[in-house]
Amino acid sequence: MIRLEKRHGPPPLGGLPATGAALVLALVLGAAAFAALGADPLAAYAAMIRGALGYPGAFTEVLLKAAPLTLTGLAVALCCSLQVWNIGAEGQFVFGAVGAGLVGLRLWPEAGPWALIPACLLAGALLGGLWAGLAALLKTRCGVNEILSTLLLNYVAVIFMEHLYFGPWRDPAGFGFPGTAELPAASFLPVWPGTRLHLGLALALACAALLLFLLRRTGFGYRARIIGHSPSAARYGGFRVERITVLALCLSGALAGLAGACEVLGMQHRLQDGLASGYGFDGIIVAFLARLHPLAVVPAAVFLGAAEVGGDQLQTALGLPGAVVAVIEAALLFGLLLGEWISGRRVVLGGADGGGRGQ
């Protein structure tokens, strides 16, 4: 008799075969999508590579995408290390943007850059953390599954932001354009000369290093790892599981909120339609592609950013819809989840009495 049993301990080779298999699956399904649309798959992938790397400044655009993807990927990875599933990074991203807009447009628009930029960033992180904290309280106080609550709160956040820029925060001089007025120039993030690359990338890299230190070198990180392996053992050991869960979700929301604030202060410069463009959902792919390692989140975000920037080339070079990139991303996510499930199990030969031989 052959059956699958849950594996105790780390997966073989750190789970890298599962990640590789997911990448291959995504490429194969992407090729099938290109072929179904009447395009040569090799030509389509070549166009994507040229779009991401084939002209001066292209890699800068990739890094621009990678900055918010790194922060939302870190947000998801932090919670998943406790076996808590934060699907709400998109909503926390939106509330981070609202926090930056609140300070820049309403509370302190006359401040100078040395005060206004940190205040906007802190407000974005704070509102993102509080929005995630709502899901944390629902989970720990009312037993509401965090997957459901964080997912639904995404839509509430987007509707709330739309209410602001369609309603009380709408730019009266915008000629009907759905958006707020532009934030003060003093709130704009500094950019690298000659590019659009802004301070958000440096903040994302710093957050990756800080999160690694937090998870590997602090008491909080030790407790989080124990909870991730076995919540019941953590409770037996006297850990305050609910308290650590709330703290982790709030920190996760703060990272996603910081991403939203950086997007507003570095790129959009106002709240407007299209701001919520899926960075929070893409953070799930980034986190699992990095196998939840904070430093590995950075190259994973660059990879996904390159795929998205290259996907734009599909429209101009081959006339393909850019949405085909979403097919590749979806295949990558499902491949990663399937690989995670398979690598967490082992094949057992023998009866159900536990006397079988694992493979």
Residue 356 pLDDT: 47
- For residue range 120-161, what is the model confidence (pLDDT) as tens digits? 999 999 999 999 999 999 999 999 999 999 999 999 999 999
- For residue range 297-340, what is the model confidence (pLDDT) as tens digits? 999 999 999 988 888 878 777 787 777 788 888 877 877 777 77
Count of CB atoms situated within 10 Å of the CB of 149: 20
Identify the segments of the chain with pLDDT beneath 50.
354-359
Distances 272 to 19, 54, 86, 162, 279 between C-alpha atoms, Å: 36, 31, 25, 8, 15
The answer to whether 79 touches 249, Cβ cutoff 8 Å, is yes
- For residue range 295-306, what is the model confidence (pLDDT) as tens digits? 999 999 999 999
Residue 211 pLDDT: 96
Residue 359 pLDDT: 44
Phi, psi of 3 (to 5 degrees): -145, 165
Give the pair of three-digit tokens for residue 233: 């053992």
Residue 31 pLDDT: 87
Give the pair of three-digit tokens for residue 314: 């599909």
> What is the amino acid identity at position 307?
A
pTM of the model: 0.91
Residue 358 pLDDT: 45
Tallying the residues shown for the chain, one arrives at 359
**Distance in Å from the first CA to the final CA of the chain:** 13
The answer to whether 56 touches 62, Cβ cutoff 8 Å, is no
Of residues 84, 96, 99, the one with CA closest to residue 248: 84
Sign of CA dihedral 146, 126, 251, 257: positive
Strands (E), 96-140: none
Residue 311 pLDDT: 84
Q: Is 272 left (phi over 0), alpha (psi -120 to 50) or beta?
A: beta
Which run of H or E residues covers position 6? strand 2-6
